[in-house]
């Protein structure tokens, strides 16, 4: 095995790849070769490090120098200064990683120090396309232990003791699900992985697949042994090309090493995996819709019972867990269920990965022990809202979740606490909103998404959500009426109680939670015909304040509608009838003389 004095770790997750990280990697390889360092320095392409706001990210070990927002043209300087002269290039270092006289360890940086990386343990640490690196970090050790030392019943008992709950939605206990599927007698059973991540703003599963695909393969093989299945399918959306590519490579490598196929590790256990690509239908994230899609049918939910544990894929007993759930499983067997259950709360064990986005300084992936407060995530990890803006709300759980107001900022993040607040953990999307967000418009956005993605099978979801969207649209256009809120609440109640699948049943959550916590904003739209946040175009006008206007004419020059008139050195005026409310004038005014009203 070759030993290198320096390892250059380059993020090749989707975010950094979109910002030329592959070119950065190639430039490093060229510069290293040009300077005769190929026997001393190795370049590794990894998965996501987590701090997406600062990508592309390059970390150089053993110093753990955290270079952020690196460009291809920066590579030559990093090689010359850091790899040849041994001087850390401070110009590109992530500012928070520097103290006066030393570099902080990565785990000391504010973004990372409250995190506990379990599901994300290998992301950014290993080359996901090299099975040997996964094995070097205890990869397939859990599978060996399970196959050589444990019975299927003991495997299921371990999962129950860990307290791991499904990380894809409702949080059903994983060990219990496996137990249900192990009991039916059948010559064929299936293990499925839900990698059809469809929530707006969610990219947790994608990042795990891109950064640590072998952990999913190992966990699914363990699940197959536990329930008596010999075949698994990973259902991944085709919009994740890097994840699909790396899964394909990992499955091929696992077969080559005898970790998939017949007689795994000489134990007589047989298990294999196949990839199935989805076309991006949100409803295929629901388990029975996903099963229908794998079967070659239109992805639409089925009534339950029977549940998949008894009658799932092709009518056979089936278990279905999402990517993050599987990512935790090898560690549970390597470190013990008590170790995992020691994190989190009494009913919500372990950690949870969130995709932190929206109006937040540090966007990216975070993994925290369940029970961590919203305040800790927003301010201590996320760095608060940019530009000194006031935190207003956080939306969790995607279209099936709800908006939690700033008044509940000290609430713990766990299954029970978020449910009590009218939201859910869901798959782990966490979208932050500040004072400039209109909560009525946020509710309209999520309902528009649901209407577009509804499979149309059941009337409550197909028609009810459409009626809710029509009312929300009217309200944001200044056409709201007295009684609209009551209509929304009644429609929401009917949909929750009668929709066929969980996606339909939870669809009204963003509307109900915003009415619950921001009713005054709805009333301002309906009664006063005003949008307090100045977002809904039909309810606002741009006005020039005469006392502040210097008569420079910059606003008039930049107005695409040519609806601003005036003479130099005198206050200008906006023709509100011609104005399309694009906001360019306010953006360009150097004196702050233009306001929204």
579: CATH? 3.30.70.20
pLDDT in tens, 292-311: 999 999 999 999 899 999 99
Average pLDDT score over residue span 182-206: 93
Residue 231, domain member (yes or no): yes
* 147-153 LR contacts (CB < 8 Å, sep 24+): 147/225, 147/264, 147/265, 147/267, 147/269, 148/265, 148/267, 152/182, 152/225, 152/226, 152/227, 152/228, 153/182
- The per-residue pLDDT for 120 is 97
Residue 532, domain member (yes or no): no
474 in the same domain as 382: no
272 in the same domain as 301: yes
DSSP per-residue letters across 354-415: EEEEES-SS-EEEEEETT-BHHIIIIIIS--SGGGPPEEEEEESGGGSEEEEGGGTT-B-SH
447 in the same domain as 430: no
- The per-residue pLDDT for 169 is 79
- The per-residue pLDDT for 511 is 96
241 in the same domain as 362: no
- The per-residue pLDDT for 347 is 94
Nearest to 120, CA basis, from 187, 50, 70, 178: 50
Residue 113, domain member (yes or no): no
Burial of 279 (0-12, 13-18, 19+ CB in 10 A): exposed
- The per-residue pLDDT for 148 is 97
Q: Which of 391, 407, 434 is the last residue in one of the domains?
A: 434
569 in the same domain as 512: no
551 in the same domain as 415: no
- The per-residue pLDDT for 426 is 85
Q: Which of 335, 360, 389 is the last residue in one of the domains?
A: 335
Q: Is the pLDDT of residue 376 over 60?
A: yes
For residue 151, what is the domain's CATH number?
Answer: 3.40.50.11540
Structure tokens at 206: 């994608």
- Among the residue ranges 91-105, 112-126, 155-169, 417-431, the one predicted with the least confidence is 91-105
- Among the residue ranges 166-170, 376-380, 514-518, the one predicted with the least confidence is 166-170
- The per-residue pLDDT for 400 is 87
For residue 409, what is the domain's CATH number?
Answer: 3.10.20.600
68 in the same domain as 39: yes
pLDDT in tens, 445-491: 999 999 999 999 999 999 999 999 999 999 999 999 999 999 999 99
91 in the same domain as 209: no
| pLDDT bucket at 108, cuts 50 / 70 / 90 | confident
Q: Is the pLDDT of residue 547 over 90?
A: yes
- The per-residue pLDDT for 244 is 97
| pLDDT bucket at 243, cuts 50 / 70 / 90 | very high
Q: Which of 434, 461, 478 is the last residue in one of the domains?
A: 434
Look-up of token digits 């006005």: 543
- The per-residue pLDDT for 97 is 82
554 in the same domain as 517: no
What value does the mean pLDDT of the chain take? 95
Count of helices and strands (H, E) across the chain: 25, 18
Residue 535, domain member (yes or no): no
- The per-residue pLDDT for 99 is 79
| pLDDT bucket at 107, cuts 50 / 70 / 90 | confident
147 in the same domain as 181: yes
Q: Is the pLDDT of residue 585 over 90?
A: yes
| pLDDT bucket at 185, cuts 50 / 70 / 90 | very high
pLDDT in tens, 204-230: 999 999 999 999 999 999 999 999 999
Q: Is the pLDDT of residue 254 over 80?
A: yes
386 in the same domain as 271: no
Q: Is the pLDDT of residue 1 over 70?
A: no
For residue 482, what is the domain's CATH number?
Answer: 1.20.1440.230
Residue of 596 and 18 predicted with greater confidence:
18
Nearest to 353, CA basis, from 326, 393, 392: 326
Instruction: State the Cα–Cα distance between residues 584 and 572, nearest whole angstrom.
Output: 15
Residue 582, domain member (yes or no): yes
For residue 23, what is the domain's CATH number?
Answer: 3.40.30.10
Q: Is the pLDDT of residue 100 over 80?
A: no
Domain of 327? 131-335
313 in the same domain as 207: yes
pLDDT in tens, 54-80: 999 999 999 999 999 999 999 999 999
Residue 316, domain member (yes or no): yes
| pLDDT bucket at 371, cuts 50 / 70 / 90 | very high
Q: How many domains does the chain have?
A: 5
Instruction: State the Cα–Cα distance between residues 355 and 52, nearest whole angstrom.
Output: 10
- The 3-class SS string of 121-144 reads CCCCCCCCCCHHHHHHCCCCHHHH
| pLDDT bucket at 103, cuts 50 / 70 / 90 | confident
- The per-residue pLDDT for 540 is 87
Q: Is the pLDDT of residue 199 over 90?
A: no
| pLDDT bucket at 109, cuts 50 / 70 / 90 | confident
Residue 344, domain member (yes or no): no
Residue 346, domain member (yes or no): no
Yes or no: say if 39 and 74 are a contact pair by the CB < 8 Å rule.
no
Q: Which residues contact 158 (CB under 8 A, 6 or more apart)?
A: 150, 175, 332, 333, 337
Q: Is the pLDDT of residue 5 over 70?
A: yes
């Amino acid at each position: 095995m070759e030993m290198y004095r320096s390892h250059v770790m380059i993020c090749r997750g989707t975010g950094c790849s979109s910002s030329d990280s592959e070119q950065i990697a190639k430039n490093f390889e060229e510069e290293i070769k040009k300077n005769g360092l190929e026997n001393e320095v190795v370049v590794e392409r990894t998965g996501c490090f987590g701090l997406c706001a600062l990508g592309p990210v390059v970390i150089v070990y053993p110093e753990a120098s955290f270079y952020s927002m690196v460009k291809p043209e920066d590579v030559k300087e990093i090689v010359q200064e850091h790899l040849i002269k041994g001087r850390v290039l401070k110009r590109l270092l992530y500012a928070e990683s520097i103290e006066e006289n030393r570099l902080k360890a990565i785990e000391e940086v504010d973004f990372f120090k409250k995190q506990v990386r379990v599901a994300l343990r290998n992301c950014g640490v290993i080359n996901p396309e090299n099975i040997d690196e996964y094995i070097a970090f205890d990869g397939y050790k859990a599978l060996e232990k399970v196959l050589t030392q444990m019975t299927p019943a003991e495997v299921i008992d371990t999962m129950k003791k860990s307290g791991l709950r499904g990380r894809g939605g409702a949080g059903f206990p994983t060990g219990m699900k496996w137990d249900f599927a192990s009991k039916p007698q059948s010559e064929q059973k299936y293990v499925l992985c839900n990698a059809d991540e469809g929530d707006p703003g969610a990219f947790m599963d994608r990042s795990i697949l891109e950064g640590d695909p072998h952990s999913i393969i190992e966990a699914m093989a363990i699940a197959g042994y536990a329930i008596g299945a010999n075949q698994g399918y990973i259902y991944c959306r085709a919009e994740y090309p890097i994840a699909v590519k790396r899964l394909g490579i990992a499955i091929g490598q696992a077969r080559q090493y005898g970790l998939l196929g017949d007689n795994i590790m000489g134990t007589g256990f047989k298990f294999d995996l196949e990839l199935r690509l989805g076309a991006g239908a949100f409803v295929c994230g629901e388990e029975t819709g996903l099963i229908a899609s794998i079967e070659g049918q239109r992805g639409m939910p089925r009534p339950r019972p029977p549940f998949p544990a008894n009658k799932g894929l092709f009518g056979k007993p089936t278990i279905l867990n999402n990517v993050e759930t599987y990512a935790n499983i090898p560690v549970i067997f390597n470190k013990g269920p008590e170790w995992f259950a020691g994190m989190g709360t009494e009913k919500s064990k372990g950690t949870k990965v969130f995709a932190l986005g929206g109006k937040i300084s540090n966007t990216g992936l975070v993994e925290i022990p369940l029970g961590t407060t919203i305040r800790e995530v927003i301010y201590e990890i996320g760095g608060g809202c940019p530009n000194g803006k006031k935190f207003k709300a956080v939306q969790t759980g995607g279209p099936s979740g709800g908006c939690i107001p700033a008044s509940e900022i000290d609430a713990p993040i766990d299954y029970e606490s978020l449910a009590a607040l009218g939201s859910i953990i869901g798959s782990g999307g966490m979208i932050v909103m500040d004072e400039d967000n209109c909560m009525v418009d946020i509710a309209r956005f999520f309902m528009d998404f649901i209407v577009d993605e509804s499979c149309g099978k059941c009337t409550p979801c197909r028609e009810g959500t459409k009626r809710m969207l029509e009312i929300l649209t009217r309200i944001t256009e200044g056409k709201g009426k007295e009684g609209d809120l009551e209509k929304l609440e009644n429609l929401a109640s009917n949909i929750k109680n009668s929709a066929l699948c969980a996606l339909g049943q939870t669809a009204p959550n963003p509307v109900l939670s915003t009415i619950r916590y921001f009713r005054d904003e709805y009333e301002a739209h309906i009664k006063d015909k005003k949008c307090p946040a100045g977002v809904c175009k039909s309810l606002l006008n741009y006005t020039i304040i005469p006392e502040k206007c210097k008569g420079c004419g910059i606003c008039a020059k930049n107005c695409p509608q040519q609806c601003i008139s005036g003479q130099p050195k005198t206050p200008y005026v906006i023709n509100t009838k011609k104005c399309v409310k694009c906001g360019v004038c306010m953006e360009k005014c150097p004196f702050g003389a233009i306001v929204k009203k």
